[in-house]
Amino acid sequence: MAAVRFASPIGELVITASDAGLTGVWFPGTGKVPAGRGDGRGPASGLLARACEQLAQYFSRTPTTFDIPLDAPGTAFQRRVWDVLRTIPYGTTRSYSDLARRLGDVRLTRAVGAANGKNPIPIIVPCHRVVGANGALTGFGGGLDRKRWLLEHEGALMMLGS
């Protein structure tokens, strides 16, 4: 696994990748940052460069779509949830029950919340765009302050009336 550090307005991020795709976007200080090498060689280095470029565009408010291959470890259900997360448009939010309905069963709401919480590639897989049914900001691996910042950055909090 290769890794690179990326300076962002919400703190330094550590981005990790295998030769097949991105494996993580990590917030230092959360105790979850894996070790990786940053030797600048191999397919992973090209993926990391693309990720940094697209994150820089995102943080500068240049309209961007993240189109980087992903290689996140997870169950089949988690991957289905993460695929649905990638369909939430920039500047909008969805509730956990909205996502469960998209997956075909509103009874999956709690399971969707759990899978959302296991997302190892935040921002690129926009789990920050998921809020409670009443619009309340709920958990985020990078902390609620970062979640609020990301939603304000995208203009989504204005839609929530926050």
The confidence score (pLDDT) of residue 41 equals 59
Rounded Cα distance between 65 and 38, Å, is 25
Half-sphere exposure of residue 105: CA atoms within 13 angstroms, side-chain side = 8
Whether 88 and 120 map to the same domain: the answer is: yes
pLDDT over threshold 70, residue 40: no
Choice among 26-40, 43-57, 123-137 with the minimum mean pLDDT: 26-40
If one compares 61 and 107, the residue with the highest pLDDT of the two is 107
In a domain, 70, yes or no: no
Query: Which domain range does residue 141 map to?
Result: 76-160
Q: pLDDT-derived band of residue 36, with 50, 70 and 90 as boundaries? A: low
Number of domains in the chain: 2
Residues forming a β-bridge with 14: 5, 26
Lowest mean pLDDT, pick from 78-87, 133-142, 143-152: 133-142
Which pLDDT value is given to residue 63? 64
Whether residues 88 and 123 fall in one domain: yes
Q: Which helix (H) or strand (E) holds 122?
A: none
> What is residue 32's predicted lDDT score, i.e. its pLDDT?
62
Report the Cα 88 to chain-centroid distance in Å.
11
Domain end, chosen from 34, 59, 84, is at 59
In a domain, 108, yes or no: yes
pLDDT score at 34:
60
State yes or no: pLDDT of 30 exceeds 80: no
Considering the chain, what percentage of its residues have pLDDT values greater than 90?
70
Do 87 and 34 fall into the same domain?
Answer: no
Average pLDDT over every residue of 88-112 = 93
- Range 8-18 average pLDDT: 94
Backbone angles phi, psi at 121, to 5 degrees: -125, 60
Q: What is the pLDDT of residue 162?
A: 43
Identify whether residues 80 and 111 lie together within a single domain.
Answer: yes
Question: Which of these, 66, 53, 48, 69, lies nearest to 3 by C-alpha position?
Answer: 48
Structural domain includes residue 144: yes
Catalytic residue positions, numbered: 127
pTM as predicted = 0.88
Based on the fold, state whether residues 86 and 124 are members of the same structural domain.
yes
Is residue 42 in a domain? Answer: yes
* Residue pair 16/29 in contact by the 8 Å Cβ criterion: no
